[in-house]
């Protein structure tokens, strides 16, 4: 069976035609997400729409595919008419780039021309592309207004307007710009408004600008208390490009007895399977592109104990008879709370213990909160385990292996060797060396991994951004300050060109504890992802040290070191207080 056929049929039944479907299949999409299922048909039919959905639900394709459907069917375009067919308004430049890239990818088969338009980018370059002809403009409201004022953005033939993340745009002070942009478009246009929350002010915009809209909410039945399995639920915030490394380290720490890793697309499934096999795990892919014979082979290997883990899409996993699993990993946040509940239902069955671990990008943290809200269960956000955690864990397991071996007896043969060695060596040294050998023989997987940068959920920044509402004019200030609104940035200096502003941290360990500057540098580098050269002067006192770190990384360093151990001791770390300790004597 090849369910690729089925997924085609699925998207086709929503009104998407074959050229676009081929692209989706090539991207590894196996079926529409809930928001796509509900939003695509009315949008293809030309209806207005008010959708409540967060990032991570597949919302971009939900509005992009109908737009592309209309463009590809537009005969005048084929004759070379240079009209802009749709404009998508988004709150930030990052989102403008992401959405433009997604639309470009979806519309590749017929060469859809997409232009992201945001502040901080050369307006002349934008003008050149606009003059050549563009199908879809993805713009931040401020920059769109600049173009409208200059009469360089002709929206008079526009067919569709999308307001994406409308609540964020209002929070950022773009209400007037939105009004002005909408009034520059033809009144008969189609309007789709997406927002994570539908607050009264969103309703009032919808009432004013949407015509008899279809209302869509990714409505989920709340799981009844008894239906949800008892599962330890954890999420790790991690940047996309580091997910493979992070998953590897988490697998090493968790050491699951049996597990499945869920991905969104079959492309992702294949790539991740390769990565995991490259890292020494026995992983097999399961997705809709496999033949029945291939699936049977994988399942046989699983049953015979020849596999550490399965990597699967939701669709492919649905038909699998694999019983209880100790761990479920979500390589991405699932596209709906329902999908999350389905996935994690594979662990914690029949009163047994289970663990569900989700890797989330900072921009998906809203979706995590939606899932928590619907399942009425907490998903604990934790930092990705550090190399030190891993080392500690491995030492612990060596310790318990030695303990077990002592308990099981059967040591006579080896006791003789100890006696012989003890005549020339210290018994403590003999024991330590034997444990070292056992420890190393158990393998050293993962310790040499690249550092994984700590990333925090953007909740704090979002709140900060809300407080500092800005007007659209600030978008024209140098290098648009909008950057931090959506995504927390890794706590590292980016290009090493200018020395960043430094802050001094108080670390409650000094010379008396035998601490050396190298221990502090090592711990900070290991725990926080900073490199040694990012760390400034270190002053050592008897009972404490003062360490200079880049100001923008200070909080991440404090967080990373809190609870960590340096030379076997837990440390107290905070910013140096003005009334704090006197400088250590040189």
Interface ranges with ligand AMP (CB under 6 A): 29, 32-33, 36, 55-61, 264-265
Across 293-349, the runs of DSSP E, i.e. the strands, are 309-313, 327-330
CB 134, min distance to ligand AMP, A = 21
CB 333, min distance to ligand AMP, A = 8
Cβ proximity to ligand AMP: between 57 and 472 the closer is: 57
CB 97, min distance to ligand AMP, A = 13
Helix (H, G, I), strand (E, B) or coil at 163: strand
Whose tokens are 């990597």? That residue is 311
Interatomic CA distance for residues 451 and 531, integer angstroms = 9
CB 285, min distance to ligand AMP, A = 15
Q: How far is CA 155 from CA 45, 72, 136, 425, 439, in A?
A: 21, 19, 11, 86, 68
Interatomic CA distance for residues 211 and 170, integer angstroms = 20
Cβ proximity to ligand AMP: between 8 and 55 the closer is: 55
CB 361, min distance to ligand AMP, A = 9
Interatomic CA distance for residues 439 and 398, integer angstroms = 6
Across 411-566, the runs of DSSP E, i.e. the strands, are 502-507, 538-540, 545-550, 565-566
Sort strands 538-540 and 545-550 into parallel, antiparallel or unpaired.
antiparallel
Nearest to 462 by CA among 379, 531, 564, 363: 363
Residue pair 415/421 in contact by the 8 Å Cβ criterion:
no
CB 394, min distance to ligand AMP, A = 34
Which secondary structure element, helix H or strand E, spans residue 20, and what is its range?
Answer: helix 18-27
CB 339, min distance to ligand AMP, A = 10
Cβ proximity to ligand AMP: between 29 and 262 the closer is: 29
CB 56, min distance to ligand AMP, A = 5
Whose tokens are 């671990």? That residue is 357
Cβ proximity to ligand AMP: between 33 and 191 the closer is: 33
Cβ within 8 Å of residue 444, ≥6 positions away:
none
Cβ proximity to ligand AMP: between 316 and 491 the closer is: 316
Helix (H, G, I), strand (E, B) or coil at 139: strand
Cβ proximity to ligand AMP: between 195 and 355 the closer is: 195
Cβ proximity to ligand AMP: between 65 and 117 the closer is: 65
Q: How far is CA 412 from CA 269, 416, 423, in A?
A: 50, 7, 17
CB 507, min distance to ligand AMP, A = 40
Cβ proximity to ligand AMP: between 155 and 360 the closer is: 360
Cβ proximity to ligand AMP: between 319 and 496 the closer is: 319
* 101, HSE (Cβ side, Cα atoms, 13 Å): 6
Nearest to 261 by CA among 169, 344, 153, 165: 344
Q: Is the dihedral of CA 525, 529, 534, 535 positive or negative?
A: negative
**Residue 325 DSSP one-character state:** B
Interatomic CA distance for residues 561 and 558, integer angstroms = 5
Q: DSSP letters of 138-155?
A: EE-HHHHHHHHHTT----
Helix (H, G, I), strand (E, B) or coil at 424: coil
Cβ proximity to ligand AMP: between 36 and 528 the closer is: 36
CB 86, min distance to ligand AMP, A = 16
Cβ proximity to ligand AMP: between 182 and 196 the closer is: 196
């Amino acid at each position: 069976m090849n369910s690729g056929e089925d997924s085609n049929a699925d998207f086709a039944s929503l009104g998407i035609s074959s050229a676009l479907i081929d692209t989706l299949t090539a991207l590894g999409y196996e079926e529409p997400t809930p928001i796509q299922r509900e939003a695509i048909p009315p949008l293809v039919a030309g209806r207005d729409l008010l959708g409540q959905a967060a990032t991570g639900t597949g919302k971009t394709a939900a509005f992009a595919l109908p737009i592309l459907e209309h463009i590809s069917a537009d005969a005048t375009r084929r004759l070379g008419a240079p009209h802009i067919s749709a404009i998508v308004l988004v709150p930030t430049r990052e989102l403008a780039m992401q959405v433009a890239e997604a639309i470009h990818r979806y519309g590749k088969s017929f060469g859809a021309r997409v232009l992201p338009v945001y502040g901080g980018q050369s307006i002349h370059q934008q003008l050149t592309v606009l003059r050549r002809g563009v199908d879809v403009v993805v713009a931040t409201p401020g920059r769109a207004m600049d173009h409208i004022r200059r009469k360089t953005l002709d929206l008079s033939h526009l067919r569709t307007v999308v307001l994406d993340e409308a609540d964020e745009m209002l929070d950022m002070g773009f209400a007037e710009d939105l009004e002005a942009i909408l009034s520059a478009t033809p009144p008969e246009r189609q309007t789709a408004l997406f927002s994570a929350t539908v607050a009264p002010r969103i309703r009032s915009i919808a009432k004013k600008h949407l015509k008899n809209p279809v209302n869509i909410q990714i409505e989920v039945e709340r799981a009844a208390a008894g239906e949800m399995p008892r599962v330890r639920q954890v999420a790790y915030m991690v940047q996309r490009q580091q997910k493979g490394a992070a998953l590897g380290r988490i697998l090493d720490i968790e050491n699951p007895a049996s597990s499945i890793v869920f991905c969104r697309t079959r492309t992702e499934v294949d790539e991740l399977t390769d990565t995991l096999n490259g890292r020494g795990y026995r992983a097999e892919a399961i997705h809709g592109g496999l033949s029945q014979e291939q699936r049977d082979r994988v399942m046989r290997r699983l049953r015979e104990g020849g596999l550490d883990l399965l990597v699967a899409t939701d669709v492919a996993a649905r038909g699998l008879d694999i019983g209880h699993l100790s761990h479920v990993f979500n390589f991405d946040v699932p596209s709906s709370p329902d999908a999350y509940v389905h996935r994690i239902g594979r662990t914690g069955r029949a009163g047994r213990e289970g663990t569900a671990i989700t890797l989330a990008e900072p921009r998906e943290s809203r979706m995590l909160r939606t899932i928590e809200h619907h399942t009425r269960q907490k998903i604990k956000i934790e930092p990705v385990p550090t190399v030190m955690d891993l080392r500690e864990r491995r030492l612990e397991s060596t310790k318990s292996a030695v303990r077990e071996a002592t308990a099981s007896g059967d040591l006579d043969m080896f006791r003789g060797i100890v006696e012989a060695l003890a005549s020339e060596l210290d018994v403590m040294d003999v024991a330590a060396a034997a444990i070292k050998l056992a420890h190393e023989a158990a393998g050293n997987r993962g310790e040499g991994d690249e550092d994984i940068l700590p990333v925090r959920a953007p909740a704090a920044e979002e709140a900060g951004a809300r407080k500092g509402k800005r007007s659209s004019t600030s978008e024209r200030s140098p290098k648009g300050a909008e950057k931090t609104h959506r995504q927390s940035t890794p706590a590292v200096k980016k290009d090493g060109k200018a020395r960043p502003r430094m802050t001094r941290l108080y670390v409650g360990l000094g010379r008396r504890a035998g601490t050396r500057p190298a221990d502090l540098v090592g711990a900070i580098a290991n725990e926080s992802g900073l490199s040694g050269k990012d760390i400034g002067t270190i002053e050592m006192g008897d009972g404490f040290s003062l360490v200079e770190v880049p100001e923008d990384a200070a909080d991440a360093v404090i967080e990373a070191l809190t609870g960590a151990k340096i030379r076997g001791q837990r440390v107290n770390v905070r910013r140096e207080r003005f009334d704090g300790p006197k400088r250590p004597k040189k």
